[in-house]
C-alpha cells in the first residue's frame, strides 16, 4: 500500500479560502503526489467545493466525521452515504477532538467505522492517549482498549486506516519520539493482527504536530505508513514538503 498523507482542516476555512487552498495544493503537490496517496478533509459544508477543485487529480477528499446511520432524524450529523455520494473516499472517525468535545466512545467510533465501510468509505480510525494517561504509564492499556473497541472486528487491513495520535501532541508542537511511535505502531499492528491472521497492508498513520521539519524522521519510522496532519495541512508548501518526505 502507498503511504497515506491526510490533511485534517478541522473547522477552518471559508468557501473562498478552501477553494484557493485546494487549488494551491493541487499545483504544489503535483510532483509529490506520486510518493503517497493524499487526502484532504475539509469541513463538511466545503466538501463539494474542494471536490470540484480536486476532481480528476490524484488528490482525494474525505470527511472529518460521519454518523452511524445512513439517514434519519439526526440533526447536524453527516451521513456516510452522503459523503460517498459527494465523492469522498475516506472519513476520519474517533478523532480525539470528537472523543473529547462530543463524548464519543470506542463503541460509537466502531459503529461509525462500520457505517463508513458499508458506504464504501475507508475509515481513518484515530486512537491515542492523553497527557495524564501517558504520565500514569497507561499508554499501552489505552491503545489496546481503543484499538480493540474502535476497529471493526471484520475489517480487513486494506479497508481501514488507523491513526495513532497522542492527544498531548495534537496542535501543541510536541511530538512523540520515534522510539515511542515505533513501539505504539508495533502494538497497533499486533493488536490488529490478532484474530485476523495478520496486519499486512494495514496503514498506520502518525498524527500530532507533524510538519515539514520532522516529517522525514517520523515517516521513516518502523510501522509508520503515513501521517494525519492538522495545522500544517493548511499551508500548501508545508503540506507538500510532508508528502515529499515519504520514503521512496
Q: Which chain residues interact with ligand PEP by CB under 6 A?
A: 8, 10, 165, 170-171, 207-210, 228-232
Residue nearest to ligand PEP (CB): 230
Exposure string for 155-184, b = 16+ CB within 10 A, e = fewer: bebebbbbbbbbbbbbeeeebbebebbbbb
In the complex with ligand PEP, the residue whose CB is nearer, 49 or 92, is: 92
In the complex with ligand PEP, the residue whose CB is nearer, 42 or 81, is: 42
Min CB(181)–ligand PEP separation in Å: 13
Instruction: Give one DSSP letter per residue of 59-78, joined into a string.
Output: EEEEES---SSSSSS-TT--
* Active-site residue set: 95, 165
Min CB(4)–ligand PEP separation in Å: 13
142 and 136 Cβ atoms separated by less than 8 Å: no
The x, y and z cell numbers of residue 236, run together, are 500548501
Strand locations in 57-100, DSSP E? 59-63, 90-93
* Strand-strand pairing, 36-41 and 3-8: parallel
Min CB(179)–ligand PEP separation in Å: 19
Q: How far is CA 117 from the centre of its chain?
A: 15
Dist CA 227 CA 38 (whole Å): 10
In the complex with ligand PEP, the residue whose CB is nearer, 129 or 165, is: 165
Min CB(10)–ligand PEP separation in Å: 6
In the complex with ligand PEP, the residue whose CB is nearer, 22 or 228, is: 228
Residue with cell 493548511: 234
Amino acid at each position: 500500500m502507498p503511504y497515506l498523507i491526510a490533511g485534517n482542516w478541522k473547522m477552518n476555512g471559508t468557501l473562498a479560502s478552501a477553494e484557493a487552498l485546494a487549488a494551491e495544493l493541487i499545483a504544489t503537490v503535483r510532483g509529490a503526489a506520486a510518493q503517497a496517496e493524499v487526502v484532504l478533509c475539509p469541513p463538511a459544508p466545503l466538501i463539494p467545493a474542494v471536490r470540484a477543485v480536486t476532481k480528476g487529480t490524484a488528490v482525494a477528499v474525505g470527511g472529518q466525521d460521519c454518523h452511524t446511520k445512513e439517514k434519519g432524524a439526526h440533526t447536524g450529523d453527516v451521513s456516510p452515504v452522503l459523503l460517498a455520494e459527494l465523492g469522498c473516499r475516506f472519513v476520519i472517525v474517533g478523532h480525539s477532538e470528537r472523543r473529547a468535545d462530543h463524548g464519543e466512545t470506542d463503541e460509537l467510533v466502531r459503529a461509525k467505522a462500520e457505517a463508513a465501510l458499508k458506504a464504501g468509505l475507508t475509515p481513518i480510525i484515530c486512537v491515542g492517549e492523553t497527557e495524564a494517561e501517558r504520565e500514569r504509564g497507561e499508554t499501552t492499556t489505552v491503545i489496546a482498549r481503543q484499538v480493540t473497541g474502535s476497529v471493526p472486528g471484520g475489517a480487513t487491513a486494506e479497508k481501514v486506516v488507523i491513526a495513532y495520535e497522542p492527544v498531548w501532541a495534537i496542535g501543541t508542537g510536541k511530538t512523540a519520539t520515534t522510539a515511542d511511535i515505533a513501539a505504539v505502531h508495533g502494538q497497533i499492528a499486533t493488536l490488529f493482527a490478532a484474530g485476523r491472521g495478520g496486519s499486512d497492508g494495514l496503514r498506520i498513520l502518525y498524527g500530532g504536530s507533524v510538519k515539514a521539519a520532522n516529517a522525514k524522521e517520523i515517516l521513516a519510522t518502523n510501522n509508520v505508513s503515513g501521517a494525519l496532519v492538522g495545522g500544517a495541512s493548511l499551508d500548501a508548501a508545508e503540506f507538500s514538503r510532508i508528502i515529499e518526505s515519504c520514503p521512496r
